[in-house]
Amino acid sequence: MDRGVRGVTILGSTGSIGVNTLDVLTRHPDRYRILALTANTQVERLFEQCRRFLPQKAVMLDMNAAVRLKEKIQNAGLSVEVLSGSDGLNSVATHPRADIVVAAIVGAAGLLPTLSAVRTGKRVLLANKEPLVMSGRLFMDEARASGAELLPVDSEHNAIFQCMPAGYSAGIAPAGVRRIFLTCSGGPFRTATAEALVSVTPEQACAHPNWVMGRKISVDSATLMNKGLELIEACWLFGMTPDQIEIVIHPQSVIHSLVEYVDGSVLAQLGNPDMRTPIAHALAWPERIESGVKSLNLFELARLDFESPDLGRFPCLRLAYEAARVGGTAPAILNAANEAAVQAFLDRRIGFTDIPRVIEHALARVPANPDARLETVLSDDVRAREAAGGFISGQATRVGQGVT
């Protein structure tokens, strides 16, 4: 690799974050070399990316998918090494020539490869919330020990990072900061009544008004659980308590978050709702590079609105606050139950308003362990999924019997 060119591994390259990252990287071929791309089961998408971007390595988490990808790559005559499984993910996350690792695998599956990248001192672009939600203390401790750079790619966390004092380091309570305002679009059901939420379909929940995202994160945005997970992540990234972070609904998604200082100053980061902005910022920090995002036209903004979230209609946010305050493995339990519930909703096994009920059931059935070591987190993750699965099966049976 040429001196000065940085190698990049994208964990989860076929999702929206991965695709946007590739768009930014291709604008700067003199600065970045795509070392490795990974996916779960999307063989066709990863193959097309391999053909276009020619990474050195490609990883399919699914073993059968890896076999199919390898065959397609060989038939196309591409010089791309195909790896598989969790070992393959860890290999490209820790590769000596991977200077930057983009952690964009959705859900708990991204925990271990992201942790591996942190332990080997990489610059890690965090687009996956779950590693910090599940084991925030471990991640921050490992980053300090290895010298890894944790840079947030979530638009809100990246905005907060940009508004922090000069020289700020992730995980340390910033001097002079009073509180953080974490903005939220409100999702597709911001104005929906509680009665209307009962009949929400997966298609409606996945139709976000401002952002183009995957199905799971779209549902999380609709329930406001996405903002709850971001709250927990922000506590670890910025060394703040849950009560120092206020969720603010901002439907226009132009102000991505704000930071209030003790002198009364409030700093905000604004921009068009386009993930290439935070991706470009994190890739090049502390420099700035072209992202492809069009300039924000202030004169087209008719208004900027702000509202408090309704925790009655959106109890997932309340549950996230509670888990953040309890600490230990409570956030991991919350996250695992939510993943199970969202998948069940997408599979039409439960209703939209059943999602927080599944999570509350799991939090009640699996006591949080204050010892949040990795093995404890993984154990409680399994237990929470089992508790959630039992509740989901009961709900599906009741619905099938016509009982509500």
Walk along the chain (404 residues) and give the pLDDT tens digit of each residue: 344 899 999 999 999 999 999 999 999 999 999 999 999 999 999 999 999 999 999 999 999 999 999 999 999 999 999 999 999 999 999 999 999 999 999 877 888 999 999 999 999 999 988 889 998 999 999 999 999 999 999 999 999 999 999 877 777 778 899 999 999 999 899 999 999 999 999 999 998 766 667 788 899 999 999 999 999 999 999 999 999 999 999 999 999 999 999 999 999 999 999 999 999 999 999 999 999 999 999 999 888 999 999 999 999 999 999 999 999 999 999 999 999 999 999 999 999 999 999 999 999 999 999 988 899 999 999 999 999 999 999 876 655 544 44
- The answer to the question of residue 286 being in a domain is no
- The answer to the question of residue 339 being in a domain is yes
- Based on the fold, state whether residues 54 and 125 are members of the same structural domain: yes
In this prediction, residue 103 carries a pLDDT of 96
HSE, CB side, 13 Å, CA atoms: give it for residue 356: 20
Q: Is 180 in contact with 248 (CB distance < 8 Å)?
A: no
Helix (H) / strand (E) containing 83: strand 81-84
- Based on the fold, state whether residues 233 and 344 are members of the same structural domain: yes
- The answer to the question of residue 285 being in a domain is no
- The answer to the question of residue 253 being in a domain is yes
- The answer to the question of residue 219 being in a domain is yes
- The answer to the question of residue 297 being in a domain is no
- The answer to the question of residue 291 being in a domain is no
Query: For the domain that residue 134 is a member of, what is the CATH number?
Result: 3.40.50.720
Query: For the domain that residue 175 is a member of, what is the CATH number?
Result: 1.10.1740.10
User: Range of 33's domain?
Assistant: 6-152
**Cα distances (Å, whole numbers) of residue 207 to 234, 250, 267:** 26, 17, 31
- Based on the fold, state whether residues 142 and 240 are members of the same structural domain: no
Domain count, the chain: 2
In this prediction, residue 211 carries a pLDDT of 63
